[in-house]
């Protein structure tokens, strides 16, 4: 099968999560991604799980990339990036706005060297505007976007803001950056013109709370929006989602309570909405008499969307994921681990995470040779500490 980005050269000057994830998705499609790290290396290399000093957290974000270490505080290192830009298709960076300009590696400077360059910049608040220069990490963006308080409002009785330990803003903005980059590549294919791709983590997060964005403009009565709730069983909890008339009626029949269908408290969606907590109390009178497995079997047979609550480890063991090839084995200096492939499949095109994660500077010499540097020049660059090689 073909690799859609097999002829693309990507320069990845990113750290942590959002930028590396965007560039890794390009590598999954076959792009030659050159990961350019500082001598201090990407901070994610120190994040657990660690085996023999190699981080699987780092590896899942950077699999398939070749490694080059440059000290951009040295003009010789900046000159190397500029030379690489001349033949690159994409550059991805997630520094705070203004940092790349201080290195002389901003879009307006590099577009002169390569007018076809797609320059993807990911930042907390965008490249321009009153907040552009502020530092940003995902937890701060979660709070700034309203996401945390919106989630808190969905949890009756909670007194402090929600505290999400999963870096949603990073993965989301990295995914949007990937989509925007491929859009810019499509534009370049027809026009020959590169462009700046400006991705804001704040704006990325605002695409998630669909209802809340509208109710913020058009406030609703205090009754609020009903939430699908965990339902207790004899052995745990399940999540039934009754989002349509059919699913509600099917659940009523599965629970042996067809009377709910004509019960004035539940018969119409407006009735159920007004009596939402009562409806779930009625459902639990049934579900608590059965194990989670028995509830799931009854609801699944009736066509009601539902799931038991699982740990991530339990989810990873799902035979459906094995059937889909959702996990791939990646090798690094610490051995091997599994990482998640992109969640889509193309019938004629191969998209998959590469089976390796490079050590710092593992490909420094190779990349510099390809860029036209001689062996004595490379040795001098390494001796000056402008370049670090594994």
Domain ranges of the chain: 9-209+318-388, 231-308
Tell me the CATH number of domain 9-209+318-388, given options 3.40.50.10540, 3.40.50.1700, 3.40.50.300, 3.30.70.260.
3.40.50.10540
State the average pLDDT for the chain. Answer: 95
- The length of the chain is 390
pLDDT of 60-116, one tens digit each?
999 999 999 999 999 999 999 999 999 999 999 999 999 999 999 999 999 999 999
R_g (Cα) of the chain, nearest Å: 25
Mean pLDDT of 40-51: 97
The pTM (predicted TM-score) of the whole model is 0.94
The pLDDT of residue 184 = 98
Under CATH, which number does the domain 231-308 receive? 3.30.1540.10
Task: Give the integer Cα–Cα distance in Å for 117 and 10.
Answer: 10
Asked if the domains at 9-209+318-388 and 231-308 fall in one CATH topology, the answer is: no
Secondary structure (DSSP) of 349-364: B-----SB-PPTTTTH
Burial class (CB in 10 A: 0-12, 13-18, 19+), 328: middle
Mean pLDDT of 195-214: 96
pLDDT of 101-150, one tens digit each?
999 999 999 999 999 999 999 999 999 999 999 999 999 999 999 999 98
Task: Give the integer Cα–Cα distance in Å for 35 and 15.
Answer: 9
pLDDT of 146-157, one tens digit each?
999 988 887 777
Catalytic residue among 170, 198, 263, 271: 170
Task: Decide if pLDDT at 223 tops 60.
Answer: no
Residue 170 designated active-site:
yes
The pLDDT of residue 153 = 82
């Amino acid at each position: 099968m073909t690799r859609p980005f097999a002829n693309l050269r990507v320069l990845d000057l990113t750290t942590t999560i959002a930028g590396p994830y965007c560039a890794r998705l390009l590598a999954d499609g076959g792009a030659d991604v050159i990961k350019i790290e500082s001598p201090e290396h990407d901070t994610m290399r120190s994040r657990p799980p660690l085996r023999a000093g190699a981080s699987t957290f780092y590896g899942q974000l950077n699999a398939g990339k070749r490694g080059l270490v440059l000290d951009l505080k040295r003009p010789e290192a900046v000159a190397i990036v500029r030379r690489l830009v001349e033949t690159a298709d994409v550059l991805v960076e997630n520094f705070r706005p203004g940092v790349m300009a201080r290195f002389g590696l901003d879009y307006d400077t590099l577009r002169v060297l390569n007018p076809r360059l797609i320059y993807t910049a990911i930042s907390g608040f965008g490249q321009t505007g009153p907040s552009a220069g502020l530092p940003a990490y995902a937890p701060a963006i979660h709070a700034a976007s309203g996401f945390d308080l919106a989630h808190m409002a969905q949890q009756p009785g909670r007194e402090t803001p929600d505290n999400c330990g999963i870096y949603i803003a990073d993965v989301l903005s990295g995914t949007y950056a990937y989509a925007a980059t491929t859009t810019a590549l499509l534009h370049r294919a027809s026009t020959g013109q590169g462009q700046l791709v400006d991705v804001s983590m704040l704006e990325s997060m605002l695409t998630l709370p669909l209802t809340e964005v509208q109710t913020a403009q058009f406030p609703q009565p205090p009754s609020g929006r009903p939430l699908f709730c965990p339902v207790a069983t004899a052995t745990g909890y399940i999540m039934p989602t009754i989002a349509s008339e059919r699913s509600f009626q099917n659940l009523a029949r599965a629970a042996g309570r067809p009377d709910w269908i004509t019960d004035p408290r539940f018969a119409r969606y407006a009735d159920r909405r007004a009596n939402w907590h009562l409806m779930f109390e009625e459902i639990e009178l049934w579900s608590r008499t059965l194990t989670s497995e028995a509830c799931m079997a009854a609801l699944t047979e009736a066509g009601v969307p539902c799931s038991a609550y699982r740990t991530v480890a339990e989810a990873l063991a799902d035979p459906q994921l094995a059937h889909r090839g959702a996990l791939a084995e990646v090798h690094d200096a610490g051995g091997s681990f599994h990482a998640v492939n992109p969640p889509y499949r193309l019938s004629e095109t191969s998209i998959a995470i590469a089976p390796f994660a490079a050590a710092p500077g593992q490909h420094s010499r190779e990349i510099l040779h390809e860029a036209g540097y001689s062996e004595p020049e490379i040795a001098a660059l390494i001796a000056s500490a402008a370049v670090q090689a594994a």
